[in-house]
Amino acid sequence: MLHRAVCPGTFDPPTNGHLDVIGRAAAMFDELVVATGVNESKRRLFGDDERVELLRETVAGFGNVTVGTFDGLLVDYCRAEGIGVIVKGVRTAGDYDYELQMALMNRRLTGVETIFLPAAPEHAHLSSSLVKEVARFGGDVSSFVPASVHRRLTEALAR
């Protein structure tokens, strides 16, 4: 078993697809850090503290998963935390193409490796952006996110 890995993302909000990748990655490593970062190009519904809280609730059932935050380059976070592997979930060929470029750059910069986990078929259509959009227009997204996330999502959209 490999020692430590990070599963990064915006997680705005965490979905069942995220939870599936996190669970599968947690089974491969002694410790998995789920890290949410600042991404200025993404408009977020939940603030940094809210996303951390949602993630902690979502991953509470995994004994070897912790939640962290990072600002700036993920590889700098990896170096500071002694993490040598990044785990990325991919849903489509487009995701893979984008993430492959990032993986190659990260490896070149610091030697940090990236492992890609394909989305489970039942979650391949899920993205946080799509979940938020459907929820904003009154669609039922309760089967796409954990119950605690659904409650908080409903509250956030009602504000």
d(CA 92, CA 118): 8
- Burial class from Cβ neighbours inside 10 Å (0-12, 13-18, 19+) for residue 148 reads middle
Buried/exposed 130-146: b ≥16 CB within 10 Å, e otherwise: ebbeebeeeeebeebbb
Q: Which of 4, 44, 91, 107 is catalytic?
A: 91
Q: Which of 42, 56, 108, 125 is catalytic?
A: 42
Return the structure tokens found at 48. 């940094």
Q: Which of 51, 88, 123, 128 is catalytic?
A: 128
d(CA 149, CA 56): 11
Catalytic (active site) residue 42: yes
d(CA 89, CA 43): 21
Catalytic (active site) residue 128: yes
Residues acting as catalytic residues = 18, 42, 91, 128
